[in-house]
Amino acid sequence: MLLSNLALGQKRDRDEKPNVIIVLADDLGYNDVSFNGSKDIPTPNIDRIANNGVKFTNGYVSYAVCGPSRAGLITGRYQGRFGFSRNPLFAPNDPNQGLPLTEETMASALGRGGYKSMALGKWHLGAHESQRPLERGFTEFYGFLTGGHHYLPEKLDLNDLSEITSQYDAYRTKLLKNNSRVDEKEYVTDALSREAVDFIERNQEEPFFIYLAYNAPHTPLEATEKYLSRFDHIKDKKRKTYAAMVSAVDDGVGLVLDKLEELDINENTMVFFLSDNGGPEPHNASDNGPLRGTKGWLWEGGIRVPFAVQWPGTIPSGQVYEEPVISLDIFATATALAEVKPRNDLDGVNLVPYLTGKKKKVPHKELYWRMHDRRAYAVRKGDYKFVNVDGKEDMLFNITNDIGESAPLDDAHQSESMLKSVKKWISNLMDPIFMGLNQDKEYTKKHPDRFDLEKY
């Protein structure tokens, strides 16, 4: 009896501060998971999260491209508040080319609550020494710093940053384990899954946070025969490789979920799954299904993503949640459960009371987006979405009835109200604080010693 009570006591302690895992796919199409209707790419393990918990039909990210979206997720704040409105360049000598030090990351906040944390995979929040994961609150890191990477180990042929001479050379670097380069022998997606499982095993007795940021299925499209052989029914070569890459992520999610169940900590662990933005169809052969537009645009296809969460025993399973939620909510949810007060004001909300039925109102009255360089903005309010994708034309849609944004509404009163709202919100944002990926040549011209680490 004494041992039983002790075990129960330990379990209750862990329940008070549940583990948090974020599984973030990269450039995954809205329609490329089974729980959103995929017919040619089965995702049984990703579906487990939705089936064990909640599928969000109106799940959004805060930006339509990778870097700013990740900056929003990891801080719980609209990235325009701190000027992160472009994809950062790979500039290891530049302390301003990434996430400002004024911003607290989820790892830093949870660390104050006693959490160990690991960042895995794609970082893309700055390559300068001051901006790397171990300097931004994470206790461990296994991955790479830039916005993309090769997957096949034989293509990882650069030993360190000293061998980089251009933006995309960074895709070829050996992976980092904390601050040291390692010779990875596995397919990179499999390696990230392996390291996630290892971290869970080593930290099962204390609260932990895992940021499992797969770079799949972002280009370059590379897969091993293990995964390609599953998709002989797909004749388009690009789509077949893309499907194989998604399947590798799904296998990894399965390994993580299986380990949580094996260790009997699945009821102490909240697991989120989402993509960082919509699919860039047809660039990587992704499929956004009924949504209009792609990555890089404020149409639904750029910002509405596959999104699900599970917390067995706390969040009822099998839910389909229709109200709009956003990736910013993950930070607010995690810190609320960890009983940690964030150092900055957050734009997300704790989702748990809404998913358990304790709160009946909607989590957000309005959600906002701005893409500075496109002069684009959008606001979602209830059934309505007001959007301008290129600075030229404002459009209003009933997004509930018209998910494909095909029939603009003629409602001057509603449009005027939403335009006023989004302009007020934009007035509180900063202009971008660094040059972005589209300014690669210009940046290098202004910084000819961009990759010359010996000068620093």
Helix axis angle, 237-262 to 44-52, nearest 10°: 50
Conformational region of residue 111, where left means phi above 0, alpha means psi within -120 to 50, and beta covers everything else: alpha
Q: Which residues contact 200 (CB under 8 A, 6 or more apart)?
A: 208, 210, 256, 259, 260, 263, 265
Cα–Cα distance measured from residue 80 to residue 429, given in angstroms and rounded to the nearest whole number: 5
Give catalytic status of residue 372 as yes or no: no
Whether residue 66 lies in the annotated active site: yes
Nearest CA-CA partner of 164 in 154, 149, 153: 149
Spatial separation of the C-alpha atoms in residues 111 and 113, rounded to whole Å = 5
**Among candidate residues 169, 150, 153, 149, the one with its CA nearest the CA of residue 161:** 169
Q: What do you get for the CA distance between the two ends of the chain, in Å? A: 62
Q: Which residue in 66, 149, 218, 364 is the catalytic one?
A: 66
Distance of alpha carbon 366 from alpha carbon 371, whole angstroms: 17
Beta strands 59-60 and 325-326, pairing class = parallel
Active-site residues, by number, are 66, 124
